[in-house]
Amino acid sequence: MADRLKGKVALVVGAGSSGPGWGNGKATAVAFAREGAAVVCADVNAAAAEETAAIIHAEGGEATALRVDVTRAAEVEAAVAASLARYGRIDVLDNNVGIAEVGGVVELSEAEWDRVFAVNLKGAFLTMKHVIPVMEGQDGGSIINISSIAAVRYTGVPYASYYASKAALSHLTRTTAVEYAAKKVRVNAILPGLMKTPMVEKSSGLAQTYAGGDVEEMWRARDRQVPMGHMGDAWDVAWAAVYLASDEARYVTGIELVVDGGITLKMS
């Protein structure tokens, strides 16, 4: 283990993986622990949160698993209270929760629109609402919101609610960063590009849009879009988060750290 986050307590929301393999939140939680942090692994899927915590324990790290639905204020408040009861502070909040529903404004149902916004935007609002006062009472902290290049570009897939919710999350990050900068609470966003993660694999809508439902062809098509010639993976997001969580980024707030292999450089 290294020590870039030694002595810090990190609350990773969405720390479970939505399927076999490494999702962004799962990799981030493990990376934080490998760098010395005690990690609260929170996820709506209790078994997935426990799996991530077990990986950390097996590597000699410190972790606690919590089940939390970030769309419910009482559950978020309880998760923050449980984190404080266990560790006494929260130095890092990493918001890794996100879902996507394929469909433009005509095709999407109102319920689908509301669900995406509840998970992608309201969840980050609620966690920041309850964690920021904790950080204000300490010597500051670092908040990392996982947005997307979909916040700034049309990526070729029609999912209006995903674009809009991620754009709103990015702007919420910027404005909150300004508001709390003097309190030493840093708020930054990571914008992943085309990533090879379980969430993407599970999305039948994405596979259908890209390749008529053929997941392997979808991977190849996404690889071809990226100037580097391949998608990123969860660890690319995780190591970006380690930097933003660490004191190395002590003078960094309100940024959008793009992790995309150069794809936004060629999108019109």
Q: State the Cα–Cα distance between residues 227 and 263, nearest whole angstrom.
A: 6
Q: Supply the angle between the helices 110-117 and 160-180 in degrees, to the nearest 10.
A: 30
CA atoms within 13 A on the CB side of 9: 18
Close Cβ partners of 119 (under 8 Å, ≥ 6 residues apart): 70, 71, 97, 98, 99
Handedness of CA 240, 122, 176, 93 (dihedral sign): negative
243 is catalytic: no
Please identify which of the residues 159, 162, 163, 210 carries the catalytic annotation.
Answer: 162
CA contacts within 13 A on the Cβ side of 169: 37
Residues annotated as part of the active site: 162
